[in-house]
Structure 1
Amino acid sequence: MARLAYVIKFVADMDRAVAFYSETFGFPVRMRTPFWSEVDAGETTLALHPASDANPAGSCQLGFNLDDLRAFYEKGAVTFSVPPREQHGTLLARMIDCEGAEVSLSG
């Protein structure tokens, strides 16, 4: 089973983005760093990440949590841009959706 766990919003100014989402909507700040910040938006986490050439400011990426990411990967039903690997104590991967957008996966 999969669930929408987070949305990654790519931002030009981390401090301004954290302040905007926490102050405008009252979302509690879970963590704040120059490279990754999170606000608690209910069942889905809003993650803020610095923009880049590949991910311009204002763009977003969906993030799904799967019960068994390795089994999902082994099915081979989708194209993975990054296969599952341990990162920061979590199994992470990225796949390409039907529209060519990259989607983050954790498990």
Structure 2
Amino acid sequence: MDIKLGYIILYVENIEKSITFYRDMLGFPVKMQVESYTEFDTGATTLAINTRESVRNLTDLPIPSGKRTEQTSEIGLVTEDVEGLIEQLRSQDVPILLEPVQKPWGQTVAYVSDPDGHFIEICSPIT
């Protein structure tokens, strides 16, 4: 059996704010958009967003409303220029949760928050 990660879908409250964040602030091109579902071209794995309301209507799953304050996952975005991306996001008033730090294994890591409170790790490649 051959399994690969195809996409990640984040549930959001405000689709316009989230599109602005991922497309305009992080620079991911929109790959596809159908109603409230939007996919971004991020490389090998697609990042998608959809409204919590839409997912509830489509699936009947118990998707909670509102910005989440508890976290059980994060998205990792890899860049050669962690500090530069953090400064760019800071200038656009993106909440910086953790300033860039170098880990003992040599990787530089920082954390930001998207409009719905999802944690996003901005990190250098692991060498």
With structure 1 as the length reference, what TM-score do the two structures score?
0.48
Bigger relative contact order (CA 8 A; separation at least 6): 1
More strand by share: 1
Q: Which has the higher helix share?
A: 2
Flag the structure with larger Rg: 2
